[in-house]
Amino acid sequence: MAASSLFANWGSGAGGSVATGSFHSFGTGQVEMRRENLVIRLYRDRANVEIDYILHNSGPAIDVKAGFPSLGVKLEDVAHHEIEDYAIFADERAVPFTVETGDPAPFKSLYEAKFRRMGEMDEYPPDKRPELLEWLASTVHFDAGQSRHIHIQYESLYAYCFGGYSDDSDTCDDRFAYVLSTAAAWKGPIGDGKVTIEAVTVDPDRIMISPAKPFQRSGKTFTWGFHKLKPTDADNILVSMGNHSSSIADYDENDPPAGQEDFSYYVFKAGRYFYLHRFFTAHSEPAASEPTAPKVRKPVDDFGWRSVNSPGIGESITLTLTKHKAVDQLVS
């Protein structure tokens, strides 16, 4: 049976944030980073990040320009938003920032090794690939001998990639990368540092952290403490979510029910194979408070249901199999 033209030889794609990183100073050799406390909270599709710094000016009064790096891929038809809801505070007061373009060349290893599949980027020559470095730049004043508390917070969508031929597919592990090495631009080493990674809604048993050796685990939390560290590329942090999956289409030679796809999938995920069965019909029931309102509807892509104008409380969906199959689990 021939594959539909929609899926035939569909290639590959990628998205999300390649990497973010530590606060980086420009043109000052007198301000020290005495402390960096990094907290990374891992959710299903993104990381929530908060960083607290203590910066100390060891010289005369100075206006310090510094930036937070955001690495991504800028494709012509895709808006570039690698970091969301970015905010910076100095001693609890908001500081404005501007977006400046930088040179991504020093970070090539993050693109090529850590984020291996670039999808549409394969079409570009190596010297013209649209890797992008943006600095979220701010200026902070320091009096002579002053120490200041800098707080940064943001969200970052995980880097992801997928590909395949015809109806088969392969999806790589979601990744979050934090470039600790950019903190080396401050005077001297980082005095004291702590990295905390919390697996909030992801499985802590499946995530993989590099470098692995310095991290200690307790339940869903991984921590790394250090003292007087001048970070290098070897200290950059990569978190892989361990959610790689692949699927092989299974065609049905019989006539499918009206409105049904003519194939399902064998899927390999988390070390096991299972059969993704989509031969069913679905009926939704709205909340009892508004019995006539169609609160739940199926989107046009035919792959899922979602609630409309409602948090979904009190609603239900009934699935009726159109073919007899043993059901092991429902996935979303």
- Average confidence (pLDDT) per 10 residues, the chain, 332 residues: 36 76 92 97 94 97 95 68 90 95 85 53 58 92 97 92 73 89 95 97 93 96 97 94 78 55 63 66 60 43 54 70 68 56
Q: Which residues contact 257 (CB under 8 A, 6 or more apart)?
A: 279, 281, 322
| pLDDT of res. 51 | 98
Domain 11-240 -> CATH class: mainly beta
Q: Which residues contact 22 (CB under 8 A, 6 or more apart)?
A: 36, 38, 51, 68, 69, 178, 179, 180, 181, 182, 183, 231
- What is the DSSP-derived secondary structure letter of residue 77? T
| pLDDT of res. 23 | 94
Q: Where are the domains of the chain?
A: 11-240, 245-321
| pLDDT of res. 16 | 78
- Residues present in the chain in total: 332
Sheet arrangement for strand 216-218: 93-94, 83-90, 147-157, 46-57, 31-42, 190-199, 221-229, 216-218
Q: Which residues contact 286 (CB under 8 A, 6 or more apart)?
A: 292, 293, 294, 295, 296, 314, 315
| pLDDT of res. 310 | 56
| pLDDT of res. 114 | 47
Pairing of strands 19-21, 175-179: parallel
pTM above 0.85, yes or no: no
Q: Which of 70, 175, 57, 62 is nearest to 115 (CA)?
A: 175
Q: How far apart are CA 190 and CA 181, in angstroms?
A: 11
Q: Which of 225, 223, 214 is nearest to 191 (CA)?
A: 225
Contact (Cβ atoms closer than 8 angstroms) between residue 239 and residue 231: no
Quickly count helices (H) and strands (E) in the chain.
1, 26
Q: How far apart are CA 102 and CA 113, in angstroms?
A: 20
User: How many alpha carbons lie under 13 Å from residue 57 in its C-beta half-sphere?
Assistant: 18
